[in-house]
Amino acid sequence: MQLGDFEISTVSGGHYWIDGGTMFGVVPRVMWERQWEVDDQNRIPQRTNCLLVEAGSKRVLIDTGFGSKLTDKQRRHIHAEDGDPLLKSLQEHGLQPDDIDVVVFTHLHFDHAGGATQFDGDQKLVPTFPRAQYVVQRREWLNATANFPELRGAYSDDNLLPLSQSGRLRLIDGDVEIEPGLRAIVTGGHTDGHQAIMIESGDHTAVYVGDICATTRHLPVLWCLGYDVHMQQTRRAKIDLLGQIADQNWLVLFPHDPHTAAARLRRDPHKDFLIADSIPVLL
């Protein structure tokens, strides 16, 4: 899709099935199961809709999916797509890892940061995109690498440490311009350092909202993920950000919706926000 001077493409970081309860937290199953296909293990289908932003010769990748490092047991548990879905998707766009200049993370959970590193021919962990600078909020990085007991299992050193060891890690603080036309919006909520990414060119604006609103089914303000470390902050950030998106007629981009890549929103007095028009996932 064209957004001013930017070409924006959804690229797959992999599809998988995940426990429905974790995707909806305190929302009763009797409510959320009306919205989704559920398998015999209580799992619902999800996509990792990473974003490729191109302007001239500059290529920025936002989030990296779950990558190729999952064990067989981990893949079976979430019925994850085989291989390296992100690299396959980029190849379908005519791109190789060397073609990516910047990688931006909304946050560092496995399904957003797993594709940032891979095993080389000597089974050594290395950054997947050797020329890229890797950008993340400093608070997110410090939490992800601190080995806090309450966050055990939320982050993997295999996804992260090779990035700092490579010398290509860039830590940012707050709402700052990452690249011309790309700005960080710190939301917190899902994680302490979670950020959305605003993309602006001329009169055109899109917002990749990250897991503050993972899918179109999470448009109700009270519908949050079970993974959120600060649910109340997620709700506050969501109503503010989605409200601005709806009022300004911006495009919103969803990281996990299996059917909808992007949409425009309108306010609704009963359901908070509704889809005004949408762009399907073409994967």
The pTM assigned to this predicted structure is: 0.96
Q: How far apart are CA 48 and CA 110, in angstroms?
A: 11
DSSP at 86: H
At 283 the pLDDT is: 42
Q: In the numeric block, which tokens belong to residue 7? A: 């070409």
Structural domains of the chain, ranges and CATH numbers in brackets: 2-280 (3.60.15.10)
Average pLDDT of every residue of the chain: 95
Other CB atoms closer than 10 Å to residue 99's CB: what's the count?
A: 17
CA 12 to chain centre: 11
pLDDT at 144 over 70: yes
216-257 per-position pLDDT tens digit: 999 999 999 999 999 999 999 999 999 999 999 999 999 999
Q: Which residue has the higher pLDDT, 15 or 278?
A: 15
pLDDT at 36 over 70: yes
Q: Which residues contact 149 (CB under 8 A, 6 or more apart)?
A: none
Report the pLDDT averaged over residues 274-283.
Answer: 79
104-139 per-position pLDDT tens digit: 999 999 999 999 999 998 999 999 999 999 999 999
At 15 the pLDDT is: 95
